[in-house]
Every structure is written in C-alpha cells, then in structure tokens.
Amino acid sequence: MGSFFFCEVCNLVCEYGDKAWQDHQKELKFHKMKRMLILRCWNCGKVVVDAYAQYSPERNQFWCRNCVGDVGFLKFRSSE
C-alpha cells in the first residue's frame, strides 16, 4: 500500500524526501532510520505495518499477528 520512514532515536515519522528525512540523512546520520511498509491483512482487512504482519509464501499473503494467532501458525503456513 505504501511506505514511510521511522527514526528509532527521536520517534519521528516521515516520508522519503521530506525536510525531516533530508535533515536525518545529512546532519543526524547516527539516528537509525527504518523503512516501514504499510500492508493490509488479507484475512481481516486491517491496515498494519510490516513489523506487525506475517507473510505466508504458500498463500502469497500477508496476515496481521492477531489473525495468525487466532488460526495458529501451522494452519496459517499451510496452503489450505
């Protein structure tokens, strides 16, 4: 769906090319910037970030951790 950047040091959220992102690239290189992807859970339809999602190569789908926990990991990874 999309992506954004998250600074773990100052808890800043910004998009590629923003002034805050450029400042972090030039002056605050010691800050750890993570690229986060915005995904939609295939099972329930909720929008989540990639850190809160699991991917099943058998199904070729992303599910949120809540849905994986509800059905169980082994059933989630099966192709049924």
Reported as a single tens digit per residue, the pLDDT across 39-55 is 999 999 999 998 899 99
- Please state whether the predicted TM-score (pTM) of the whole model is above 0.95: no
Torsion of CA 59, 35, 11, 54, to 10 degrees: 10
pLDDT category of residue 24 using cuts at 50, 70 and 90: confident
pLDDT category of residue 18 using cuts at 50, 70 and 90: confident
Map out the domains of the chain as residue ranges: 1-38, 41-80
Cα–Cα nearest to 63, from 71, 74, 55:
55
Give whole-number Cα distances, 49 to 27, 44, 67, in Å: 27, 14, 14
Average pLDDT over residues 13-19: 88
